[in-house]
Amino acid sequence: MWGLALRTLRFRAGGFVATFVALCLGATVVMACGGLLETGVRNNAPPQRLAQASLLVIGDPTFTGPRDGSGDRERDFALAERVPLDARLVDRVRGLEGVRAAVGERTFETALTGAGGSRKAQGHAWESAALTPYALTRGAAPIGPDEVVLDAALARRAGVAVGDRVEIAAHGGSAAYRVTGIAQPARTVPRATMFFAAAEAERLAAPAGTIADIAIVADPGADLGALRKRVAGALNEDRARILAGDDRGAVEYPEILADKSDLISLAGVFGGLAVAVAVFVVAGTIGLSVQQRRREFALMRAIGATPRQLRRMLLGETFLVTVLAAGVAWFTGPAAGRVLFDRLVASGMVAETVRFEQGWIPAVAAAGAVLLTALVGGFIGARRTVTAKPTEALAESALQQRWFNWFRFVLALIALAGATALGLVTVLVLEGPIAGSTAGPAVICAAIGLALLAPGLTKLLTWVLSLPLGALTGESGRIAMLGSRITSVRTAAVVTPIMLAVAISTGQLYLQTTTTTHAERVYTESLRADAVLTGAGGGLDPALAERVRSIPGVASASAYAASEGFIEQPRTAPDGRHGLQLQGVDAEFGLSATAVTATSGSLSELRGNTVAIPRGLARSIHRGPGDTVRVRLGDGASVDVRVVALFESRPGYDSLLLPVSLLAPHTTNGLPAQILVRAAEGTDPDRLVASLGAWAKEHQGVRAASRDALLETHAEESKTQAWANYLIIGMLTLYTTLALINSLILATHNRRREFGLQRLNGATRGQIMHMAAVEATLTTLIGVILGTAAAAAAVIPFSLSLTDSWLPTGPITIYATVVATAATLTFAATLLPTWNALRTNPVTAAQA
């Protein structure tokens, strides 16, 4: 049978090409998502500025918290801020055997300001230059408190030379420095860098007495494993972590740790969607290919072939095509994964230093999944044909009507029940954006259930639509309606990819637009400031707020800081992968710039070690005004705070209000990030922004922005984050679109004999083309109806949960575009192959 399988490939090229395309595309998509998943798991980011360091010691950037409300299951959550190390730890490490040098790094944000604009950079002490290494090409190292060395790229962009005086903003202030040297790195370092004298770097870094990391240079030939154990023993600190190899890159780009979980989640979710879609696309294509050969199988059964022999032949053919498709996908999968990864890097979702990884594991997993899908699809698709009696097989070769079996029906009920359960959880249990975690899978569950019932639903909808369509399309249309009702199984094979394309694109797009629009609305309602001051060099001096209050037209000005943290006692589960939002405000001057109103207690008491918490959260942890809770701040520090007030918050957007004087020192920069300004009554906000802009020019590194400018910036950031989802959605939609075209071409190709017989019975080419157009219309309508129903299973519960509306937030043009695209593709992929088939002599076609 293997030899026969090889020979049949030559004479059934159309069906095998269609199967090959479906398998190859499916393996490519799954392999691409597998590459993204492997990249996220490995999270390799080769060090650049710290390439010479053998080991790096950092503060442990994770917090161990409960996975669920029970507090029994635990996992590590990433902290939002850099965890500082005690500077005295450097001396412990420096004297260890095998340590050639140990550098306590001070790292802080800076900006080169002036008439040419602001150029952000990262500041370090000059001793850190040896870790790249940087070499002076001109000038000398900085010694005094007003001296600085710039990297060559930064100096070139700013047009600065040795001896020039420059204005540098850092640690909330600004000062003039003399450029004593220009340094060139031994390798490419993407981030602009400047170096200060050791004492000045210590003054500018925060908090005092701490360092960002310890860079250890080992002696030549030293055993790094043994050295690592000695360093761990010397530190004896629970809040320290030792990094080696590519893990060192996370020190230069701390956001890599957060990107890791985001990339794993994104790849996992959409990889699962890709597998689910691939299963139905591949199974449907193989089913169409098997239908094409029913007459052939029936004749073979009639001349004595056994079901086992036919099954072995079919599985052998499928195996050969699958192996060929997997071989091609071995090359196209990594290429597609690389393209997706590059687009994610360009969008800012993934740091540019992370290295794309595509090993053999995703390739083998994708090939195995596609092979299993193909073999199972071939087995199920041919089951009725190869097991039927010869006479029954010959009768059914002309028309397949049987499709129902209890196993299929039970699977469909399970899938639809899953979609219903996910929808109920979305609308009744989950709140806020986290509801999207169940809404997304609901689309796939609904699509799977409807796909399994597609033949029956197609027959039902054909009967419902036959009267209006038949009345509008004439005699040819009525013939097409009758034929579609009889061949509902064949029609369903074409309806399924249309349904999948409409369901995935409509559901996922509207989930994203609803999330983005709602987040922008929440941000707009929560921002009451008329203007905002920001610092170019890593935060603002809190004392500036008092000076701003003296500007005419200012009603209030308050320092503001933001971070993420966790309620540690009583123990409560963090929200998803992240903790609670922490907001630091000034109780005396800043509450008017926030949309927070106390429901009990007093916000004016928000001073010292105090906190205000949302009423819903307070109810869940059984705490109220006067009680004490322990909060784990963004840098890992724990603080006991007294609850002074409760307030209402939007579901899913819970945050804790803390005094800015408590929160700001526990952020990476150690300073407030903004100063929120409210205009006095009768003062035009635009005039206020102009006044603040004129005042800011006298304070280098301070920038003034209007409320509208902040809203626009936030909207752009939201769109950038959503772009990654749009990219993956586009990939899946493209796959289902190609699968739709593939299925339609194959289905039309299978009807050449039917078209030949119709022409021999007197039908003209125009009548057959008209009939095919009516069938394409019917197929499109059924696919759109079922796809819309599957999308609604997720979109409606999510919209109710997030916005209390039955309709999603987003333009109707999204749905119109999806439907129009599905219709265009269906008509093109039906009429063009039909026209091509009609070019064949009808006698020849009838004998095919």
Q: Which of 578, 576, 648 is nearest to 616 (CA)?
A: 648
User: In this predicted model, what pLDDT tens digit does every residue of 16-58 receive, in sequence order?
Assistant: 676 777 778 778 888 888 888 888 877 777 888 898 999 999 9
Peptide bond into 207 cis (omega under 30): yes
Q: How far apart are CA 234 and CA 217, in angstroms?
A: 16
- Contact indicator for 166, 154 with CB cutoff of 8 Å: no
DSSP code string of 656-685: EEEEHHHHGGGSSSSS-SEEEEEEPTT--H
Alpha helices in 544-684 (DSSP H): 544-549, 615-621, 660-663
| Span 136-150, average pLDDT | 94
User: In this predicted model, what pLDDT tens digit does every residue of 715-774 receive, in sequence order?
Assistant: 776 666 666 677 767 777 777 777 777 777 767 766 777 777 777 777 788 888 888 888
User: In this predicted model, what pLDDT tens digit does every residue of 283-301 receive, in sequence order?
Assistant: 666 666 666 666 666 677 7
The encoded tokens of residue 361 equal 């594991």
Q: What dihedral do alpha carbons 723, 725, 729, 732 form, nearest 10°?
A: 120
User: In this predicted model, what pLDDT tens digit does every residue of 807-819 receive, in sequence order?
Assistant: 888 889 999 999 9
Per-residue model confidence (pLDDT) at position 218? 92
Q: Hey, which bits of 738-831 come out as E strands?
A: none
Q: How far apart are CA 644 and CA 625, in angstroms?
A: 5
* pLDDT over threshold 60, residue 398: no
Residue scoring higher pLDDT (841 or 162): 162
Per-residue model confidence (pLDDT) at position 664? 92
Q: What is the 3-state secondary structure (H, E, C) of 131-169?
A: HCCEEEEEECCCCCCCEEEEEHHHHHHHCCCCCCEEEEE
Query: pTM, whole model, 2 decimals?
Result: 0.77
**Mean pLDDT of all residues belonging to the chain:** 81
In 3-state terms the chain splits into helix, strand, coil percentages (rounded to 5) of 55, 20, 25
Task: Return the number of other C-beta atoms located less than 10 Å from residue 476's C-beta.
Answer: 20
Q: How far apart are CA 401 and CA 823, in angstroms?
A: 26
Q: How far apart are CA 292 and CA 303, in angstroms?
A: 19
